[in-house]
Amino acid sequence: VYFKCENFQKIGAFKFRGAFNCISQLSEQEKKRGIIAFSSGNHAQAVALVGKMLGIKTTIVMPNNAPQIKLAATKGYGADVVIYNTITETREAVTQKIQDEFGYSLIAPFDNLHIIAGQGTAAYELNTKIKGLNKLLVPCGGGGLLSGSAIATKGLNPKCEVIGIEPKNADDATQSFNTGKLVSQPNPDTIADGTRTASLGNITFPLIQEYVDAMKTVSEQSIMQAVAFHLLRMKIVVEPSGALGLAALLSQAVEIVHGEKIGVIISGGNVDSSTLTQIFQATS
């Protein structure tokens, strides 16, 4: 099993790849007006850091239940943060209102071709370093990482089976994949906050249908056990969303066949102490 450790990426997650690729291609006029994004954390941090690097005014819309470590980091990169109530508001509506008032360019978290292309470089790098992967396991929230990784993998290694992994409590993409109809599941109750996206996007859904071979789900307990395994056995810090691939292997949601090479993308490592405490209490 070969792990692609995006927890070591800038801002601690793969999201930097897509954000930099997308924002760097904006026109000078768009950069001067400023940018806006909505995210529970990793995309927020990525857009905030790129905005700081490129000198662009950045506004981030974040939920009131966003992990504190991600909220603090986003503010630390200099972004203006707007908090919304997940019970009474939607991030899209709050973002649209601000965008209409100030004319900011929206940097979508996943449903954007430049974002998807940027995220796919994670799988591109893994496939160029480890030849002949038989399976690639990729976490799935809105599908940007999964669709980009699937395109890159199939281009380099068409025989590799690409499998998206979701929490059972947030299985909208799996339902969509299996039924062929886009399913929405707003504010799902899962510890894997990076997968709380209500649904796949209008761009990512058809790409996943075309390039992904299967979708599998894992329980909350298996996710927590995978986070603990990453830390205690592998000595690396991985957030719950990033541990989905290992959770699928440990729980046998994805079968390990002797002799196969399996790639696993660890999407990020931004987890706060309260979440780790919860995980260790549940797995000890």
**49, pLDDT greater than 90:** yes
Residues comprising the chain, all counted: 284
- Summarize the confidence of residues 23-32 as an average pLDDT: 97
Q: What is the pLDDT of residue 187?
A: 81
What is the pTM for the complete model shown?
0.94
SS3 track for 227-251: HHHHHHCCCCCCCHHHHHHHHHHHC
- Summarize the confidence of residues 188-193 as an average pLDDT: 93
Beta bridge partners of 106: 36
Q: What is the pLDDT of residue 69?
A: 83
* pLDDT tens digits, 105-161: 999 999 999 999 999 999 999 999 999 999 999 999 999 999 999 999 999 999 999
Q: Which residues contact 139 (CB under 8 A, 6 or more apart)?
A: 145, 146, 164, 165, 166, 192, 194, 195, 241, 242, 244, 245, 265, 267
* pLDDT tens digits, 255-269: 999 999 999 999 999
**174, pLDDT greater than 90:** yes
Residues annotated as catalytic (active site), given as ranges: 15, 267
Q: What is the pLDDT of residue 41?
A: 82
Q: What does pLDDT average to over the chain?
A: 96
What is the per-residue burial (b if ≥16 Cβ within 10 Å, else e) of 171-202? bbbbbbbeeeeebebeebebbbbbbbbbbbbe
* pLDDT tens digits, 63-120: 898 888 889 999 999 999 999 998 898 888 999 999 999 999 999 999 999 999 999 9
**39, pLDDT greater than 90:** no
